[in-house]
Structure formats: structure tokens, C-alpha cells
Amino acid sequence: MLLISASNSGFSVRKASGERLNNPSGAKVSEDLLNKVVSLAKRRGFIFQSSEIYGGLKSAYDYGPLGVELKRNISNCWWESMVHAREDVVGLDAAIFMHPRVWKASGHLAEFSDPLVDCLNCGGRFRADKAPTLPPESPVTFRAGGKSDGDELQGTVSDRGYICPLCNCPNLSAERQFNLMFRTSIGPVDPLDKAIKKIVHGRMNAKEIRKTVEEALQPSAIYLRPETAQAIFVQYQNVQQSLGMKIPFGIAQIGKAFRNEIITEKFIFRTCEFEQMELEFFVEPGTEGDWLDYWSKARMQWWQTFANSTENFRLRPHEADELAHYASACYDIEYAYPWGWDELEGIASRTDYDLRKHSEESGSKLHFFDQQKEDPETGKPGYRYIPYVIEPSAGLTRGLLVYLLDAYTEEGGKDADGNDKIRKVLKLHPRLAPIKAAILPLVKKEGLPERAEKLSLEFFQSGINARFDAQQSIGKRYAKHDEIGTPFCITVDHQTLEDETVTIRDRDSTEQQRISASQAVQFVLDGLKK
């Protein structure tokens, strides 16, 4: 009955089995962990709701001063490992606007939609494929208007075999397909002008008006991309030829995508505007199985590199009935979110589906010609084929949520007066931490701020994102930097003025040691390499 709150986005068919809602055994999953992370994210400047002073825009989020650094660090780590550290992958950054025929070829115009249903009792709108199922003709009891004080009514489940997830009513509107792409209009035209002129003079019925309007909108219609992947397929040839890439090779891209989701949920887990980190890796037909295994393991390892609780990540092969229409096999990297195992990244074997579709629709030959190989059919030298594709497709914004959840820790302890207190620590991997080092004068006088500022400057010049912080007591500053995940706190005290040493405090152990101020930059640099 809770399926609606663990729903997945459309297009590929997903299995919503009860198992995925369970918490993994042994994993530290607190019921209110999500609430705590949401609260910290706002209070400390990681994530704000969009347009909050206007009551907020549902499901849109802004990344604040610390959130933008965390997001940049995750995406830079991905880019370095995928593009810079590999000879066989190059990057791309395509426009969000693309030619509408891209979406015709890819199938998104016709098929990227969810079945939408209205409840005739409570007026709720929901996805038919996510509604609670019951056998046809089962008797159901529900309340009039979906209200707890409404009259009790009786009904019978229809042949469609589902009921309203909000009020259990079986009396529902017809299903209609709702396309998830955002549509807008480009060019110095008002497409409705033309339609309105025709409608006024045409004495049309609703269907004819709809057709007239759609025909008027069509020439200037343009869509916000619902995935970054298609831009890579469309530019496959330009990239391959301009860089002289040889199969196997990949094209990587980080960018925004937009889906007019019927249900947005769980903070930044599912939003209409989100960021993807996608690789399309082009391989010779027949080798896709090995590459699927390779990338599934490589990507799993990558996520775990920056995590504290590696057991909260798992690799789950898709069952046959979950596969998208373009995929021959797929793995999901799942994370143990507070609401259970759910998707973080998908690694799909997309066959030659996309390049073949774009070849057909555009008339361009999106082949690869391997001079070194024989054609397996004719036995002649030279093998021309449409490459197969392995696609590791990760959610950047979803990854950010995962690392916040993974890092959030509460530790019991005592305060200076011996009272119990809880230490909140964000145990982010040092490479992901928004601020790498806090430079803290012990007090705001006696030359300590000036000495600390001088040290800050050294950090800036080394390209380390450090932060000078002189407000509040030293204890409060330590607590703040624990809470935002700063791995190192460097304190300039009176002894510094005497012997040029500073204390450096480790976020996780809270242990402090005294080191030479001149070694502080190198100490932090070494800590970031771990």
C-alpha cells in the first residue's frame, strides 16, 4: 500500500516489489535520519528549497554555499576518474535544447509517458502503474470525498485491478498517457496566434480545437531533455571522428535533465530538475556482456570509495520484466536509503538500439569501421558495425543525498561540564568535504586573527578551499565544523606567536596535535589524498 511513496520514474519498467522497501539488515538506518539531514542541509547552507521566500517551488532545490561545493566535489571526482584518468573516455557538454526529431527517434515523444488516472471520489491524481492492486470485482469500502468523516461507501474493483492510493475508491477516470517531457516554444513566434485565428472562424468541436492547437504548436515546439544520454548518441560521429577514437571508447557527460514527474518525493531524491553523470561506452557487438560486468563493478567501487558504510551499497541485476525497451541487461546500484533499498545508478546494456534509431531517422551512418578486423559474416578484411553501448548512468544530485546520509553521524559524549551531549558529525570523505580546513584564531584579539589570516592566505594560494572563522567560542566553532564535515580545524593560539606552531584537530577522532604552522598546508594536502 506504500508503493506510491517508493515509486520510480517512468520509461523503463521497474519492479516495485515489497522487498525493496525493507531496511537492509544490520544497516544503521534511523527513521528520522532523512529529517535530520534535511534540517542540517538547510540550517548549514547545503540545500534550500527553491524560491522559499515565495512559499517555495515544489520539488525544486537550490544548492547553498556548502551544497554547491559538495556537488562540485562529487562531479569533479567522477569527471577525473571517468575522463581524465582514462585514455578511452572523452567528455561532452551538450545543450539542453535539441532538435525535436532527436526525441522522435529515441522514442521519448511517443513513449516517455506515465499512465495518469483521476479518482472520481477524492479528486486525487495518480499513476495507474503505481496504484495498489486488488483482484477485479473485489469489494472495497471507502469514505465519501476521501474524508475521514465522509459517509462509508461500498464499491467493486474494476477489470483494471487497482484502486485510488489516496482513498481506496475503485471508481476512477480512464487512464491517459501523460508525457513527462517539458515542452516550450522557440523562435520569435507566438504559436497560439495562428491557432486562435483558425479556431474563431472554424466552428470546431473540442477534438478539432485540440488538433488545431497541436498543429500550431508543433513547428516551434522544443523540449527540455529528459536525459543527457541522447546528446551523446547524436554527437557520436562528431566526437569519434574529430578525436580519432577507436572502439572500445566512451563519451562522458554531466548535465541537467528535466522530467515533469507526476510524483516528486523524498527531498532531492526525485525532482523535476536533476543532474546526471552519464557515460555511453561504445563496444564491439558480442563484447557487451564483459563490459557490462566491468562497468558495474567499476562504478560500484567508485561509489564505495567515498563512503563510510560500504555495506549500504548493493549491485542488483534487473529481472527480465524490469528491463527498459532498449536494454538487454541492466544492473542497478542501490543504496539503503532511510525508506529502503532504492536506485542510485543504473548500468544498462543498451545494445545498438539508440545509434540504430538515430541512423534510421537522420540518414547518417552511425557506424564504426575497424580496419584491423575481419567482417565476421563475409570473412573479408575490415569490419563495419553499429557499436553496442554500455551506459553507466548516475544521479549526481541523488549521489549528493546518498553521501549526506552516509556521512551523518551522532556520537554520545560529555561536554566541558561533564554533562551528556551529542556530537553531530558529517563524516564526509575529505575529497568531498566542502571546506577542507578551518583556520581559527583562539580568540578575536591579541594579534591572533592577523596571524590566522596569514595562514588562510597560504591555504588559498595552494588551491585548498579553507575558511577563516573567528566568530563564537572555539568549542562552538569546532562543533560547527564537525557538523559541516570540515576534516581539519587549525587553531592559532598564543603559543603560535611564540614558537610558530598551531594545533590541528581531526574531525573524526577529535584528537589534536601540535605541528609547525609552516607544515599545515602540507598536512592537509596529505590528508586529502587518503
Considering only residues 101, 147, 297, 384, which one is a binding residue for a copy of itself as defined by CB under 8 A?
Answer: 101
Q: Which of 5, 17, 51, 156 binds a copy of itself (CB under 8 A)?
A: 51
SS3 323: coil
Rounded to an integer, what is the distance from CA 499 to the centroid of its chain? 49
Q: Which is nearer to a copy of itself, 120 or 243 (CB)?
A: 243
Please enumerate in sequence order all residues whose Cβ is within 8 A of that of 191, keeping only pairs 6 or more positions apart, or say none. Answer: 185, 216, 217, 219, 220, 221
Least distance in Å: CB of 476 to a copy of itself?
11
Q: Which is nearer to a copy of itself, 55 or 418 (CB)?
A: 55
Instruction: Give the footprint of a copy of itself on residues 233-292 (CB under 8 A).
Output: 234-235, 237-239, 242-244, 251, 256, 260, 262, 272-273
Q: Which is nearer to a copy of itself, 99 or 414 (CB)?
A: 99
Whole-Å CA distances, 327 to 15, 322, 405, 425: 15, 10, 31, 41
Amino acid at 100: P
> Which x/- pattern over 470-509 shows residues binding a copy of itself (rule: CB under 8 A)?
-x--------------------------------------
Contacts of 167 (CB under 8 A, 6+ apart): 119, 121, 122, 124, 142, 143, 145, 146
For a copy of itself, the binding residue among 33, 48, 289, 367 (CB under 8 A) is 48
Beta bridge partners of residue 224, listed in sequence order? 97
Which lies closer to a copy of itself via its Cβ, residue 65 or residue 317? 65
Residue ranges in 312-331 that form contacts with a copy of itself under rule CB under 8 A: none
Site size toward a copy of itself, by CB under 8 A: 95
Burial category of 525 from C-beta neighbours within 10 Å (exposed 0-12, middle 13-18, buried 19 and up):
middle
Q: Which is nearer to a copy of itself, 114 or 342 (CB)?
A: 114
Rounded to an integer, what distance in angstroms lies between the CA atom of residue 115 and that of residue 153?
26
Give 148 or 241: the residue with its C-beta nearer to a copy of itself.
241
Choose between 249 and 408: whose C-beta lies nearer to a copy of itself: 249
- Binding a copy of itself by CB under 8 A: which of 463, 509, 511, 530? 463
Q: Which of residues 184-243 bind a copy of itself (CB under 8 A)?
A: 184-188, 190, 192, 196-197, 199-200, 204-206, 209-210, 213, 222, 224, 231, 234-235, 237-239, 242-243
Which residues sit opposite 437 in a β-bridge?
Answer: 466, 488
Minimum distance between the CB of residue 156 and a copy of itself, rounded to whole angstroms?
27
Stretch that binds a copy of itself, among 14-22, 45-53, 148-156, 385-393 (CB under 8 A): 45-53
Query: How near is the Cβ of 102 to a copy of itself at its closest, in Å?
Result: 6
Q: What is the smallest separation between the CB atom of 366 and a copy of itself, expressed in angstroms?
A: 8
Rg over alpha carbons for the chain, rounded to the nearest Å, is 28
Closer to a copy of itself by Cβ: residue 2 or 196 = 196
- Residue 72 has which C-alpha cell? 562540485
* Alpha carbon distance 505, 513 (integer Å): 7
CA–CA gap between residue 440 and residue 517 (Å, rounded):
13
**d(C-alpha 363, C-alpha 360), whole Å:** 5
As measured in angstroms, the least distance from the Cβ of 204 to a copy of itself is 8
Binding of a copy of itself at residue 42 (CB under 8 A)?
A: yes
Query: Under a CB-based contact definition with an 8 Å cutoff, are residues 304 and 313 in contact?
Result: yes
Nearer to a copy of itself, 16 or 96 (CB): 96
416 scored as a contact of a copy of itself (CB under 8 A):
no
Contact segment (CB under 8 A) with a copy of itself among 99-107, 140-148, 382-390, 516-524 equals: 99-107
Q: Which residues, 110 to 169, sit near a copy of itself by CB under 8 A? A: 116, 125
Yes or no: say if 423 and 316 are a contact pair by the CB < 8 Å rule.
no
Residue 304 interacts with a copy of itself (CB under 8 A): yes or no: no
- Applying CB under 8 A, the span of 98-106, 301-309, 331-339, 423-431 interacting with a copy of itself comes to 98-106
Grid cell digits, residue 498: 611564540
Contact of 457 with 446, CB cutoff 8 Å: no
Q: Which member of 13, 468, 523, 528 binds a copy of itself (CB under 8 A)?
A: 468
Strands 488-492 and 437-441: parallel
> Residue written as cell 556537488?
71
Q: Which is nearer to a copy of itself, 251 or 407 (CB)?
A: 251
Cis ω on the peptide bond leading into residue 170 (within 30° of 0)?
no
- Cβ distance to a copy of itself smaller for residue 293 or 483: 483
Q: How far is CA 126 from CA 119, 129, 174, 484, in A?
A: 8, 9, 12, 38
Q: Which residues within the stretch 331-390 sit at the binding site for a copy of itself (CB under 8 A)?
A: 358, 361-364, 366
* Strand ranges in 190-272 using DSSP code E only, listed in sequence order: 221-223, 249-258
3-state secondary structure 332-346: EEEEEECCEEEEEEE
CB 344 → a copy of itself: shortest distance, Å? 20
Q: Which residues pair with 329 in a beta bridge?
A: 349
Judged by CB, which is closer to a copy of itself: 102, or 163? 102
CB-CB contact of 478 with 421 (8 Å):
no
